[in-house]
């Protein structure tokens, strides 16, 4: 095998170099042409409308939105009670006051009045009753008022000793009179003796009737003494002032449902108007405590007259207070049937569960009464709304120009970045979301790709 000549190899190397140089020149020429084409296109566009502003667009979105009526109001206890004394005396012990945050239930002791005088009165009445019962041949001690009444009700007058003695005497005289009449018919007894026995019989009958009357009078006196003893015992019990039973009844199904969810309704001390050692008297002005039932609690607000047709019983209510970020759920339980002529408002009440007792009676709250759901509310991105001099607008693209549309913002959702707008907008329109702060009505625009 013979090798190719050295001259031939040198010519092949030079040829490759020329080919490479030619390829590079072709690529540079193509790149220059491309840049030139882009520059020409850009220049042509600028020459066509050099004042057009580049903007970005977003569609109008239809969303379901909960409609509500905003009100402000005050919390009141579901029930509020004023405790007054039933007996007079000196306060010896107070068991609960305003500083005590314990929830009180019916029967819990609030304060105690000195019971000494009332204990002595009970002892005196008990002795009087015992004396009357002894006349009726009841000798066992009876401490229960109901038992005393039961014994007196079952007592047989004819079985009392005084009545039985009068009855026996009447019977004896009646038998003697009958024998004397038989003997008188046989002329054995004189007429004077017979008339004497007849007189004795009338006296015996009168004594029996009187004995029955005396026995019945004794029973009546015993009942009277028993009632005096019961009153004395009640006054002694009244020296211990306790939390009363709730008196307010649920007025409708919404309040009934709220009360059913509370295991045991209780009260808190809202105000204390007495101190230990003070003399209290059973008078209307002698108030000791004001108790408030705060679970459930009532929210009371004034509703403008124009919303009267939108609010009704049973609608849900969302309530917020300044002391916490918790949103409390309630239900409209009452809507006043009349409008206040001075304020042109009507009163509404909402019942709210308050298990942790965060809501305080007398406190201030804001409420949203949820009325209905609008299934197709128009919403736009928040950045699409431009506000100037108190007027809010959005810009839509009409051909190659921007057109301003005046809107009224409503519901705002900052977490998702949209706002409901009310105005002359169609669901098919696109709103400007970028570049709208430099737009005016009729400004030429150049739209980019719509935002998703």
Taking residues 375-390, report their average pLDDT.
Answer: 93
Q: Quick one: 139 and 61 in the same domain?
A: no
Q: What are phi and psi for residue 51, nearest 5 degrees? A: -95, 0
Domain harbouring 152, CATH code: 1.20.58
List of residues 6+ apart from 438 with CB closer than 8 A: 53
List of residues 6+ apart from 60 with CB closer than 8 A: 378, 379, 380, 425, 426, 427, 428, 429, 430, 431
Nearest-angstrom CA–CA distance, 174 and 200: 9
6 in a domain, yes or no? Answer: no
Band of pLDDT at residue 7, cut at 50, 70 and 90: very low
Nearest-angstrom CA–CA distance, 365 and 301: 9
List of residues 6+ apart from 299 with CB closer than 8 A: 73, 74, 75, 76, 317, 319, 330, 349, 350, 351, 352, 365, 367
Find how far residue 102's CA is from the centre of its chain: 19
Band of pLDDT at residue 248, cut at 50, 70 and 90: confident
List of residues 6+ apart from 204 with CB closer than 8 A: 166, 169, 170, 172, 173, 174
pLDDT at 38: 41
Q: What is the pLDDT of residues 192-205, one digit of tens each?
A: 888 898 899 999 99
Q: What is the pLDDT of residues 402-448, one digit of tens each?
A: 999 999 999 899 999 999 999 999 999 999 999 888 888 899 998 87
pLDDT at 141: 75
Q: Token digits for 341?
A: 């002529």
On whether the CB atoms of residues 355 and 258 are closer than 8 A, the answer is no
pLDDT at 450: 56
Q: What is the pLDDT of residues 276-331, one digit of tens each?
A: 999 999 876 788 999 999 999 999 999 999 999 999 999 999 999 999 999 999 99
Which has more confidence, 30 or 352? Answer: 352
Q: Quick one: 139 and 226 in the same domain?
A: yes
Is there a cis peptide before residue 296, judged by omega within 30 degrees of 0? yes
pLDDT at 4: 39
267 in a domain, yes or no? Answer: no
Q: Which of 237, 256, 289 lies at the terminal end of a domain, its last residue?
A: 237
Nearest-angstrom CA–CA distance, 330 and 299: 9
On whether the CB atoms of residues 146 and 272 are closer than 8 A, the answer is no
Q: What are phi and psi for residue 140, nearest 5 degrees? A: -75, 145
Please state which of the ranges 31-35, 59-63, 233-237 shows the lowest mean pLDDT. Answer: 31-35
pLDDT at 154: 83
pLDDT at 193: 86
Nearest-angstrom CA–CA distance, 276 and 259: 35
Q: What is the pLDDT of residues 93-146, one digit of tens each?
A: 999 887 767 899 999 999 999 999 999 999 999 999 999 888 888 877 777 778
pLDDT at 105: 92
Tell me the C-alpha to C-alpha distance, in Å, between residue 58 and each of 21, 269, 296, 379: 52, 58, 47, 11
383 in a domain, yes or no? Answer: yes
33 pLDDT exceeds 50?
no
Q: What is the pLDDT of residues 332-344, one digit of tens each?
A: 999 999 999 999 9
Q: What is the pTM of this model?
A: 0.68
The CA-based angle 167-170-173, given to 5 degrees, is 150
Q: Quick one: 122 and 229 in the same domain?
A: yes
Average pLDDT, the chain: 85
Q: What is the pLDDT of residues 42-56, one digit of tens each?
A: 444 444 466 788 899
- % of the chain surpassing 90 pLDDT: 61
pLDDT at 284: 67
Q: Which of 237, 266, 291 lies at the terminal end of a domain, its last residue?
A: 237
Nearest-angstrom CA–CA distance, 362 and 271: 12
Task: Tell me the pairing of strands 445-447 and 53-59.
Answer: parallel
pLDDT at 422: 93
Taking residues 72-76, report their average pLDDT.
Answer: 96
3 pLDDT exceeds 50?
no
List of residues 6+ apart from 154 with CB closer than 8 A: none
40 pLDDT exceeds 50?
no
Nearest-angstrom CA–CA distance, 338 and 344: 10
337 in a domain, yes or no? Answer: no
Q: What is the pLDDT of residues 169-215, one digit of tens each?
A: 999 999 988 888 888 888 888 888 888 988 999 999 999 999 999 99
Q: Quick one: 59 and 147 in the same domain?
A: no
Length of the chain counted residue by residue: 452
Domain harbouring 59, CATH code: 2.40.420.20
Which has more confidence, 416 or 147? Answer: 416
Nearest-angstrom CA–CA distance, 228 and 130: 12
Q: Quick one: 120 and 231 in the same domain?
A: yes
- Residue 431: exposed, middle, or buried by beta-carbon count in 10 A (0-12, 13-18, 19+)? buried
Q: Quick one: 60 and 159 in the same domain?
A: no
User: Domain total for the chain?
Assistant: 2
172 in a domain, yes or no? Answer: yes
Q: Quick one: 199 and 137 in the same domain?
A: yes
Q: Give the residue from 361, 423, 369 showing the smallest Cα distance to 396.
A: 423
Q: Which of 212, 237, 262 lies at the terminal end of a domain, its last residue?
A: 237
Nearest-angstrom CA–CA distance, 74 and 364: 5
325 in a domain, yes or no? Answer: no
Nearest-angstrom CA–CA distance, 92 and 113: 6
Band of pLDDT at residue 389, cut at 50, 70 and 90: confident
Q: Quick one: 120 and 222 in the same domain?
A: yes
On whether the CB atoms of residues 125 and 288 are closer than 8 A, the answer is no
344 in a domain, yes or no? Answer: no
Domain that holds residue 435: 53-65+374-447
Q: Give the residue from 53, 100, 449, 137 showing the smallest Cα distance to 291.
A: 100
366 in a domain, yes or no? Answer: no
Q: Quick one: 160 and 230 in the same domain?
A: yes
Q: Quick one: 125 and 217 in the same domain?
A: yes
pLDDT at 72: 96
Q: Quick one: 61 and 120 in the same domain?
A: no
pLDDT at 277: 92
Stretch (H or E) spanning 79 = strand 61-83
Band of pLDDT at residue 28, cut at 50, 70 and 90: very low
């Amino acid at each position: 095998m013979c090798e190719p000549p050295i001259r031939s190899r040198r010519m092949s190397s030079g040829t490759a170099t020329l080919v490479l140089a030619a390829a590079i020149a072709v690529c540079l020429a193509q790149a220059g042409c491309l840049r030139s084409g882009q520059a020409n296109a850009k220049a042509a566009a600028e020459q066509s409308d050099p004042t057009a502003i580049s903007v970005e667009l977003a569609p109008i979105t239809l969303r379901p939105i909960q409609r509500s009526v905003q009100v402000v109001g005050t919390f009141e206890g579901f029930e509020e009670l004023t405790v007054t004394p039933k007996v007079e005396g000196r306060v010896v012990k107070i068991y609960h006051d305003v500083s005590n945050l314990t929830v009180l239930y019916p029967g819990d002791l609030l304060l105690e009045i000195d019971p000494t005088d009332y204990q002595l009165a009970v002892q005196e009445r008990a002795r009087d009753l015992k004396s009357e019962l002894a006349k009726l041949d009841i000798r066992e001690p009876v401490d229960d008022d109901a038992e005393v009444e039961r014994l007196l009700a079952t007592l047989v007058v004819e079985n009392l000793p005084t009545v039985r003695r009068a009855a026996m005497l009447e019977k004896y005289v009646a038998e003697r009179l009958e024998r004397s009449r038989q003997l008188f018919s046989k002329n054995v007894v004189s007429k004077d003796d017979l008339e004497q026995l007849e007189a004795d019989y009338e006296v015996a009958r009168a004594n029996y009737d009187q004995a029955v009357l005396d026995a019945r009078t004794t029973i009546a006196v015993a009942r009277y003494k028993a009632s005096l003893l019961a009153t004395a015992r009640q006054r002694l019990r009244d020296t211990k002032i306790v939390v009363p039973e709730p008196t307010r009844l649920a007025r409708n199904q919404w309040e009934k449902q709220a009360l059913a969810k509370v295991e045991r309704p209780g009260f808190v001390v809202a105000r204390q108007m007495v101190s230990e050692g003070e003399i209290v008297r059973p008078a209307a002005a002698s108030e000791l405590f004001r108790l408030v039932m705060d679970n459930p609690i009532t929210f009371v607000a004034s509703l403008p007259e124009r919303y009267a047709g939108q609010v009704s019983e049973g609608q849900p209510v969302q309530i917020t207070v300044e002391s916490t970020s918790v949103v409390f759920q309630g239900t409209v339980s009452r809507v006043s049937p009349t409008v206040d002529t001075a304020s042109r408002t009507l009163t509404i009440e909402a019942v709210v569960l308050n298990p942790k007792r965060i809501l305080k009676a007398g406190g201030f709250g804001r409420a949203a009464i949820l009325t209905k759901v609008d299934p197709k509310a128009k919403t736009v991105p928040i950045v699409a709304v431009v506000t100037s001099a108190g007027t809010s607008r959005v810009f839509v693209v009409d051909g190659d120009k921007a057109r301003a549309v005046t809107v009224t913002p409503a519901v705002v959702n900052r977490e998702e970045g949209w706002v409901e707008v009310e105005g002359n907008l169609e669901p098919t329109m696109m709103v400007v979301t970028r570049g709208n702060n430099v737009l005016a009505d009729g400004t030429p625009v150049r739209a980019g790709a719509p935002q998703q």
